[in-house]
Copies of this chain bind each other. A is one copy, B any other.
Amino acid sequence: MRERRGSTVSRDRAREIERLARALRGIPVRTEPHYRLSYGFDATGTRGSCGGVAFPGDLRDLGRLVRESSRRRIPLFMRGAGSGFSGGSIPLDNGLVVSTEKLSRVLHFDARREEVEVECGLVNKELQDFLEPLGFFYPPDPASLNFSTIGGNIAENAGGPRAFKYGVTRRYVRSLTWVTAEGIAVERDPPRGPTAALVGAEGTLGAIYAARLGVVPLPAAYRTSLLEVSAGWGALSLAGSFIAAGLAPSVLEYIDSKTMRCVGEYCCFGGLARDAHYLFIEIDGSREEADEQQRLLESLAERAGVVIRAASTEAERELLWKVRRSVSPSLARRGVTKVNEDVSLPLGKLEEGARFVHELAHELDLDCYVFGHAGDGNMHVNVMTDRRRTEEMRRVESFVERLFARTVELGGTLSGEHGIGMTKSPYLGMIFTPAELALARGIKRCMDPEGILNPGKYFSREGAAA
């Protein structure tokens, strides 16, 4: 994407941002080229157009910043780690990025109520590290948890492997403190009325400052296993049959053979069967429950003729988790551009969907990797490619369109957990009915009449000036 630095819009915007920066005395606003470059793209690799970066330090700062920007109609793009996979935090039209880096405090912890209040810029992992010695954890665990922020997690209603047992972000948000598009601070406990709409709104309806989150006591025991399934895609149906037989794991992931070979190379995990598909399973609970469930898993695996590797020490558990967490980074090394879709399918259609993806990738000669959450039907489909190879990118586009069409046919949805952002907003018409789109756009206009909050994303795509 070329920057239109010389255009009239950009020159005007640059002057506007300079004036804004002066009005915001005390709140750092950086407009140097290396800031505008670094904050101009996200994990999709797509480059937007960034006019500057502001670093509010507290709720008062955030309120002033939104108020002044609203008065001047300068579009704002809230940004946590920029680790999203749907372009949700990419700035457009030389707008102002609002970085939440300085908003990373734990504000309050209450063991009795099992809750913690944190600022939006706190990294998920930092929250887990804070909670663990206190005997608690925060269930949402997106694969990006080492860098993604709580604010970003709330904006995307993030899930993760544990969502199968513990549910997604919305379940844990007990109150939100946020700033309306006009710059007015709102604290709402529990989230109701307009505040309830903010979770999962991808930053288009309000600027989140802090959240009170429910947390859960750490389980007494974990049992972690990696299962090697030689029955090919049948691994997915096998996972379903385990659940039907009474297995209730906290984590139930599958990784296809091609992905697993990548992981094996990346983290030097040996002894993998070349063509096997894998299930990654973790059970948690009291020691008795965990043992009972693990015995059930082992007998089910044996009956299915599946090789099971069960961690018997904490170090072995860490190793198995390292395998699971290495999926994304190991793929990232395979190509310049990672096209990363996360569709969701009814459980009974998962095997059929995965077979379809595999055959389609073969037909279009694309380098494709499939893994995901077998418990809730979420399937991550990754195509490794290179944006500069125009002809291949056309095949990728065709792949994505046919994947989406087949997903809808099979009764699935187009986004499991990555959100709509920019990359999926052209497909909104496949996901939402015209009535819903009209309503959602009406709500957007009502909550952000000037269209300054993350314009060009999700339902506000029609207002994009990109």
Q: Which residues of A contact B (CB under 8 A)?
A: 111-113, 157, 167, 170-171, 180, 182, 184, 186, 188-189, 192-197, 199-200, 217, 240, 243-244, 248, 286, 288-289, 347, 413, 432-433, 435-436, 439-440, 442-443, 445-447, 459
Q: How far is the CB of A294 from the nearest CB of chain B, in Å?
A: 15
Q: How far is the CB of A449 from the nearest CB of chain B, in Å?
A: 9
Known: A186-B436, A286-B289, A435-B182. A443 touches B197 (CB 8 A): yes
A440 — which chain B residues lie within 8 A by C-beta?
193-194
14 residue pairs A–B, Cβ–Cβ below 8 Å: A112-B243, A157-B192, A170-B170, A182-B435, A186-B433, A192-B200, A194-B443, A195-B436, A196-B199, A196-B200, A439-B446, A443-B443, A443-B446, A443-B447
Known: A171-B171, A443-B443. A193 touches B243 (CB 8 A): no
Q: Which of A112, A189, A194, A347 has the most CB of B within 10 A?
A: A194
This protein's copies in its complex = 2
Separation of A49 and B157 alpha carbons in the complex (Å): 42
Separation of A196 and B168 alpha carbons in the complex (Å): 14
The 7 A-B residue pairs with the shortest CB-CB distance in the complex, in nearest-first order: A442-B446, A184-B435, A194-B439, A193-B440, A112-B244, A446-B446, A288-B288
Report whether A186 and B112 are in contact in the complex, using a CB–CB cutoff of 8 Å.
Answer: no
Q: A157-B192, A195-B436 are in contact. List 11 more A-B contacts (CB 8 A).
A: A112-B244, A180-B435, A186-B435, A186-B436, A193-B439, A194-B443, A196-B199, A217-B248, A286-B289, A442-B447, A446-B446
Residue in B closest to A292 when the chains form the complex, CB atoms: B286
Separation of A459 and B446 alpha carbons in the complex (Å): 15
Separation of A439 and B439 alpha carbons in the complex (Å): 14
Q: How far is the CB of A166 from the nearest CB of chain B, in Å?
A: 11
Separation of A192 and B159 alpha carbons in the complex (Å): 14
A188 — which chain B residues lie within 8 A by C-beta?
436
Report whether B347 and A113 are in contact in the complex, using a CB–CB cutoff of 8 Å.
Answer: yes
Separation of A240 and B112 alpha carbons in the complex (Å): 8
A199 — which chain B residues lie within 8 A by C-beta?
196
Separation of A197 and B286 alpha carbons in the complex (Å): 37
Separation of A436 and B181 alpha carbons in the complex (Å): 12
Residue in B closest to A348 when the chains form the complex, CB atoms: B112
Separation of A192 and B428 alpha carbons in the complex (Å): 13
Q: How far is the CB of A432 from the nearest CB of chain B, in Å?
A: 6
Report whether A197 and B197 are in contact in the complex, using a CB–CB cutoff of 8 Å.
Answer: yes
Separation of A286 and B170 alpha carbons in the complex (Å): 27
Contact of A196 among B112, B189, B196, B244 (CB under 8 A): B196
Separation of A422 and B240 alpha carbons in the complex (Å): 47
Report whether B111 and A436 are in contact in the complex, using a CB–CB cutoff of 8 Å.
Answer: no
A170 — which chain B residues lie within 8 A by C-beta?
170
Report whether B112 and A432 are in contact in the complex, using a CB–CB cutoff of 8 Å.
Answer: no
Contact of A433 among B184, B413, B443 (CB under 8 A): B184
Known: A194-B440, A197-B197, A347-B113. A413 touches B447 (CB 8 A): no
Contact of A459 among B113, B189, B193, B432 (CB under 8 A): B193
Report whether B244 and A111 are in contact in the complex, using a CB–CB cutoff of 8 Å.
Answer: yes
Separation of A446 and B194 alpha carbons in the complex (Å): 13
Report whether B436 and A194 are in contact in the complex, using a CB–CB cutoff of 8 Å.
Answer: yes
Q: Which of A180, A193, A440 has the most CB of B within 10 A?
A: A193
Residue in B closest to A376 when the chains form the complex, CB atoms: B113
Q: How far is the CB of A337 from the nearest CB of chain B, in Å?
A: 28
A244 — which chain B residues lie within 8 A by C-beta?
111-112
A193 — which chain B residues lie within 8 A by C-beta?
432, 436, 439-440, 459
Contact of A167 among B171, B435, B446, B447 (CB under 8 A): B171
A289 — which chain B residues lie within 8 A by C-beta?
286, 289
Separation of A251 and B453 alpha carbons in the complex (Å): 42
Residue in B closest to A449 when the chains form the complex, CB atoms: B442
Residue in B closest to A433 when the chains form the complex, CB atoms: B186
A194 — which chain B residues lie within 8 A by C-beta?
436, 439-440, 443
